[in-house]
């Protein structure tokens, strides 16, 4: 039992005295070892911290340089814009209504508006007042008679439009042409162009057309009256030709039964020649009627185009063109 007790005491003493002392010494050696390593790395750490401080200072310096460069770039852009503006004025491209060159941005804007107005009015004059009506009441139509057409010297489309609008048709055509020119200008200048100015010009032109159109145009005649007159004259020509042919038949139609060869030949000659003369006279009358009717129709067409011109051209603004 004494030996067992001694063994227990020895074991207890080992774990609670010898082992802790050994572990303490071991930890002391490791601490000393780590402290040595730290002492060796301390210069490198200090050097790294110094380098980091230098990099931070360099970053701050570069940031300030970048800000300075951005400021200089902004100044350079402003100077470039001013120079471009000055060059623009120096070219004297834009001029004021009195003819003097524009030398400020506001004056350039005024000159540009004036130039846009002149261009718009000039285009209206070219597009809307030269009789370019397409296939509906052009300013002039060449003789192209169609005996089978009951609408000649007009077209079915023209008579339909005239029946719908009557003397108000020139105003309709004028306003449609104004809208078309304004749409063309808006498309030409794009979304960044002077859209508001174009719209103002359009409204101004439409307002003038409506005001001028309050005095309703009186056509030289009604197309239906011309067609009725044409039908009556055609019937008269046919009646005259038939009467002449009947007269020839009455006087020389029995030439075959005339006694005597010489006398029969004379009757036959008179019969053929006078029949041909009657037909030729009728043809000549029809041609003359066609030309005179065509001329009357052209007078009507020219009247429409002259009225459109009156509704488009503002005499008070003619000088500004």
3-state secondary structure of 95: strand
pLDDT tens-place string over residues 60-80 = 888 888 888 988 888 888 887
Q: Do residues 148 and 90 lie in contact, with contact meaning Cβ atoms separated by under 8 Å?
A: no
Distance in angstroms (rounded) separating the CA atoms of residues 26 and 20: 10
> CA–CA separation, 74 vs 67, rounded Å?
11
Residue 206, helix vs strand vs coil: helix
Contact 109, 96 (CB under 8 A): no
Stretch 214-232: mean pLDDT, rounded?
A: 91
Nearest in space to 274 (alpha carbons), one of 282, 285, 286:
282
Helices within the chain (DSSP H only): 2-13, 19-90, 105-128, 156-165, 169-189, 195-213, 223-252, 261-312
pLDDT on residue 314: 74
Per-residue confidence at 10, pLDDT binned at 50, 70, 90? confident
Neighbours of 162 (CB within 10 A): 20
Q: Please list the alpha-helical segments (H only) found in 135-222.
A: 156-165, 169-189, 195-213
CB of 209 closer than 8 Å to CB of 171:
yes
- Residue 89 burial (CB count, 10 A): 17
Distances (CA, A) of 186 to 109, 181, 194, 280: 18, 9, 8, 59
pLDDT at 223 over 90: yes
Can you tell me the distance from the alpha carbon of 45 to that of 47, in angstroms, rounded to the nearest whole number? Answer: 5
Lowest mean pLDDT among 119-123, 163-167, 191-195, 275-279: 191-195
- pLDDT at residue 99 in the model: 60
């Amino acid at each position: 039992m004494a030996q067992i007790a001694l063994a227990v005491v020895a074991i207890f003493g080992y774990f609670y005295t010898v082992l802790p002392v050994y572990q303490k010494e071991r930890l002391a050696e490791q601490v000393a070892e780590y402290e040595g390593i730290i002492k060796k790395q301390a210069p490198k750490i200090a050097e790294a911290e110094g380098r980091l401080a230098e990099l931070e200072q360099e970053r701050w310096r570069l940031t300030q340089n970048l800000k300075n460069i951005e400021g200089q770039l902004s100044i350079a852009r402003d100077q470039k814009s001013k120079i471009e503006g000055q060059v623009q004025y120096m070219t004297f491209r834009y001029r004021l209504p009195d003819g003097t060159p524009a030398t400020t941005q506001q004056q350039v804007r005024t000159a540009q508006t004036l130039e846009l107005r002149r261009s718009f009015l000039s285009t209206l004059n070219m597009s809307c007042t030269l009789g370019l009506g397409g296939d509906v009441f052009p300013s002039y139509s060449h003789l192209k008679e169609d005996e089978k057409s009951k609408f000649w010297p007009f077209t079915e489309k023209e008579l339909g439009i005239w029946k719908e609008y009557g003397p108000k048709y020139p105003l309709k055509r004028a306003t449609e042409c104004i809208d078309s020119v304004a749409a063309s200008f808006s498309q030409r200048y794009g979304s960044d162009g002077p859209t508001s100015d174009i719209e103002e010009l359009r409204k101004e032109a439409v307002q003038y057309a409506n005001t001028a159109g309050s005095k309703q145009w009186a056509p030289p005649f009604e197309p239906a009256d011309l067609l009725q007159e044409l039908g009556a004259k055609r019937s008269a020509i046919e009646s005259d030709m038939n009467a002449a042919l009947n007269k020839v038949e009455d006087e020389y139609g029995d030439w075959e039964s005339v006694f005597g060869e010489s006398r029969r030949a004379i009757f036959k000659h008179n019969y053929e020649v006078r029949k041909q003369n009657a037909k030729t006279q009728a043809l000549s009358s029809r041609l003359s009627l066609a030309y005179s009717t065509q001329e009357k129709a052209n007078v009507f067409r020219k009247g429409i185009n002259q009225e459109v011109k009156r509704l488009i051209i503002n005499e008070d603004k003619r000088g500004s063109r």
